[in-house]
Structure 1
Amino acid sequence: MQTANRATHLPQTVEPRNPGMPLDLDWVMRANANRSAIERRAAQLPARRSVKKDHQAAWLARAISCIDLTTLAGDDTEGRVRRLCAKARQPVRADILEALGLPDLTVGAVCVYHDMIAPAVRFLDGSGIPVAAVSTGFPAGLSPFHLRVAEIGESVAAGAAEIDIVISRRHVLTGNWQALYDEMRAFREACGPAHVKAILATGELGTLQNVARASLVAMMAGADFIKTSTGKESVNATLPVSLVMIRAIRDYHEATGIRIGYKPAGGISKAKDAITYLALIKEELGRDWLSPHLFRFGASSLLGDIERQLEHHVTGAYSASWRHAMA
């Protein structure tokens, strides 16, 4: 019963799993990125996208449903995870959710380190909210390969329904696409029934062209989602990087018919930024991607700002940010 409950919000219950495909190096090497055009497109989006009142509230509620509420700190405790899971179950004050007509709104998932999987599963029991775990030597991905694969299996056995893996950046930086494909394929197989998100650590890949090529290779190897960052790099999610990855997803869908999810992570902390990302997804991929099974935010503080905006929408007053602590 517990497993069934956790599965109700899982992407693989809505979309077919990505089976992957043989590595197509011709396709990979054709992937390029026009930096000036990409940056121009990215700069235009927040300047011309503005939604107000009920429309803004609706977009923000959608953003909440797509959040992977995350704690990845060295001082994580069961108490902190319990409070985070309570926030995941009720992300906004109950009277505000009632006023919005969304009493059952929850986040998309709760994301934790391996040691916190068991308590997170326990605290989310019956909620339908899956537990995601970062894995494969997160965040650097430099532990021995067999240990990275084993870590995935341990996390799945502990109850994680989604696994956020990190790739070896050196494979991208040296253009060793076969090695990246083989690594990602092994990670995908180790995940078994668990949904797999491939973290590219785009801030460490050097160029937008590398981002485009790494995105394609990860999808060819079976990634169900591609994700920008660990949140630990000096540069995390950005609109130009997102545009490159989203267009790679679009190309993969056009070629294979398989929809791959997208997860920007790190540095997205304001409600207005969340709306900008949702608008980008809608314009580039379409409405099908505006749901938790194909889009997630990797965030923690973002929810607090969204809650403040929704409280203002309902009551006409802003509350202090400290009243919306995550854990």
Structure 2
Amino acid sequence: MTPDLTCYGDGIKSLADLVGDFDLRSPMDVHAWYRAEWQAIAEVLGFSQELEATLAPLRVVRDRLTAANQAGVDAFARWLRRQRPAISDSHARTQEAVLSQLITAGEKRGELWRVAADPTTLAAGACYDEAGQLRRAFYPDTAPGYFGEGWSGPPPRAESACGWTTPLVLHLGTFPWVYSSRIDGPAIGARWVSPNAAPALTGMRAMARLLEPAGNLRQDARQVASTYEQFAAHTAPLVARLPAYQPGRAVAGQLYRRGGFLYVHQGSLHLEGLAGSRGRIAVAAYNYVLRRFACFFSVRRAALRALIALPSDVQRIAESSADPCLRRHVEEVARAG
């Protein structure tokens, strides 16, 4: 049965097509697709060398999907160990504890892509100690941004020791670009590393779960689709101003539209940005974020197509989902026998 992604929006099928289709029942398809997607992630974030080392043994692994995801996370972990600590251990420990709580709650609700919570109900009140002063462990990202119109309330139910007056909101589906209003430069989440802890690794694991059938089907795709609609609405006018890439006629250093993504001819994406009404958006961040949306729906399509071949516990996730589009597909599969 052909999955119908239009239930999530008219442009969702085209979005998924940006990263291609694949068959979860084909080991070769799985190997090729997941390898390509992790290579794309690593190229943007800078751990391509580590990834090649972890991907090398996968040709002899039976469960290539799980192995590819683990290889990607392991490569990121190796890369993190070589990075200079950007935060203190106190900061990192609080982030780690809070992320664990948010991920657990987000998965339970089917809303891991974007997690939101009253910070005063989280570990240490989402505060950490810095030289005797309590500070917020995360940026209060509640103003309108590229992922939405903002999340200003309700305010914390208790008084915050470090000044929280709004919910804590993180976009883990696009990790390490986790803030709607701060995608103007390098990925902030990739800097969540201290001398003795790496909450960045927890964030990457959360993103990777959405690439697995179980984690993908557990997520209510309506949340992802609505966030994508906001992202597309605010970036489409910026992208439309750019010329389309034409081989043989491209100018060195010029930014182009190519294959649905942005491309700099004989130049670096990391130096480019687009200025819009929601602020500057780094071109590398644009491509990465767009690819995260596309990958989510490509995996969703593959999981729906292969649903009856997936393990029974994964099928039960789909059967009990709050996502009406997913439940409808499950019912259609059941009727088809």
Same fold (TM over 0.5): no
Larger radius of gyration: 2
Q: TM-score, normalised by structure 2?
A: 0.30
Q: TM-score, normalised by structure 1?
A: 0.30
